Amino acid sequence: MNLSRFLLVILVAALPAAAAGPLTGFPFTNETLHYTVKWPSGVQMGDATVSATGENGGWRFDMNFTAGLPGFPFTDTYRSTVTADLCSTELYRAITHGPKRVTEQTTFDQQRHLAERHTLMPAGGGRSQLELPNCAQDALAYYFLARREMGQGRVPPAAKVFFGGPYQVSAQYTGAMDITVGGKAETTDHLNVSIKGPASDLTVEVFYARDAARTPLLIRIPAPIGKVSLELVRP
């Protein structure tokens, strides 16, 4: 390679990333993603919305999940606030599963390594404290942390994650996998996410787009009826 060609290669490599177009989606911009929730048969059973909003130097994450089960309302609402480093500061959960209704708020004191969990509904649910590791994450915060790590070419670290109680979460990258989303073929990065708690032991599959934001295109969650899927609805 002659000197002029060598310098041209160096110049092209040094061009700013913006030349390829502006980066969108978390962690670069606010975003709202819509998903269709499907039975194992592929029939639609509900909808989910996941959003990230920059707030007070950190982030606010929201997830709303609604399923249309005859005679059995199924609605979940989650809200998480985190620091710029994605350390949790507060988690709000409101759950309606048929006649069961639970509302909780967990406040994280990262400096004291303690969280206080307050059950707002049913009345008299009381309070409890949880010991925290450094920069502890709730489940929604970890979901977004995984995207940030994947965007940096790293598998998300194993962690103790909080969602009411503590859960041990670990991720395994299985490589590239081709899927179809919205009738379009996609090559994705596939993770198996193991979640273990006092009464839980399951593995969730997540298929990430190969964009800078590592947008989750498809999520498969095991259930007694088979694997329930969340499939991204493209704008």
131: which residues sit within 8 A by CB, 6+ positions away?
113, 114
Whole-number pLDDT of residue 27: 95
H-state helical runs in the chain: 3-13, 139-151
Q: Nearest CA to 168 among 130, 195, 138, 134? A: 195
C-alpha dihedral sign at 195, 200, 201, 206: negative
pLDDT of residue 21: 66
Choose among 77, 53, 52: nearest CA to 65: 77
Predicted pLDDT of residue 67: 85
pTM of the shown model:
0.87
Q: Does domain 32-233 have CATH number 2.40.128?
A: no
Phi, psi of 187 (to 5 degrees): -95, 120
Spell out the per-residue pLDDT of the chain, length 235, in tens: 443 343 333 333 333 333 356 899 999 999 999 999 998 888 899 999 999 999 999 999 999 999 877 778 889 999 999 999 999 999 999 999 888 899 999 999 999 999 999 998 887 778 999 999 999 999 999 999 999 999 999 999 999 999 989 999 999 999 999 999 988 999 999 999 999 998 889 999 999 999 999 999 999 999 888 899 999 998 7
- For the chain, give the number of residues: 235
Looking at residue 125, what is its pLDDT?
Answer: 76
Q: Are 161 and 138 in contact (CB under 8 A)?
A: yes
Quick one: which of 152, 154, 148, 142 has its CA closest to 204? 142
Domain boundaries, the chain: 32-233
